[in-house]
Structure 1
C-alpha cells in the first residue's frame, strides 16, 4: 500500500509539472519557471497584464516588451490563457481566420 501511495504522489507531481502556466494569473516565480522567461520578461508580462488587462491569446505576448515571434513560439507550449491550453488557443485563432 505504501508503494502505491508513493507512486500516486509522484504521478501527481509529474502531472502538475507539465501543466501550462496561465499568463493571466501566474506569479513572477511561476512565469520564471517557463523555459525562455527570465526575471525581466516575467516582470514585463506582469506589467503588461496590469496595464492592458488579461491576455486573450498566447500570441499577445508579441506585444510585451522583450518578446518577439521567436520567443513567443518558444514558450507557447508551456503557457496558456485562462483554462485553454496554448495549443487550443492557437487552434481557435486559426479557425477564426478562415
Structure 2
C-alpha cells in the first residue's frame, strides 16, 4: 500500500511540474501563428517575389503584373486599384485584403 501511495505521489509530481512546460509550448505556438496571421505586405514597395510569397492566389505572373502596373502608373492610392491589374479579381482581393497595406 505504501508503495502505491509513493507511485501516485511521483505521478502527481510529474504531472504538476510538466504542466507549465506544456503551457509555454502552447503559448509560443499561438504567438507565432498569430504573428503570421497579422503580417502584411506593402503593395507599393514589395517586390514580385514578396507579393507572390505572401498573398493567396498571387503567383509569379500576377505579382509581376502588379509590379509592372505600379511602375507604369505610380503607387497604388487604394487597395481597390489592384482590380485594374489583369488577373486580380474580387476573390483575390477578399482573400488578401487583411494582408495588404499601402504604407
Answer whether TM exceeds 0.5 for this pair: yes
Q: Which residue of 1 aligns with 2:35?
A: 15
In structure 1, which of residues 61, 78, 87 is the aligned counterpart of residue 82 of structure 2? Answer: 61
**When you count helix as a share of all residues, which structure comes out higher?**
2
Aligned ranges for residues 50-89 of structure 1 at < 5 Å?
50-82=71-103
Larger Rg over CA atoms: 2
CA distance in 1, matches of 2:57, 2:96: 6
In structure 2, which of residues 58, 61, 67 is the aligned counterpart of residue 46 of structure 1? Answer: 67
1:28 corresponds to 2:48: yes
Aligned residues: 76
Structure 2 portions without partners, runs of 5+? 1-27
Structure 1 portions without partners, runs of 5+? 1-7, 83-98
CA distance in 2, matches of 1:17, 1:76: 12
TM-score (norm 2): 0.61
CA distance in 1, matches of 2:92, 2:48: 18
Moved over 6 A (4+): none
Q: Which residue of 1 aligns with 2:58?
A: 37
CA distance in 2, matches of 1:57, 1:29: 21
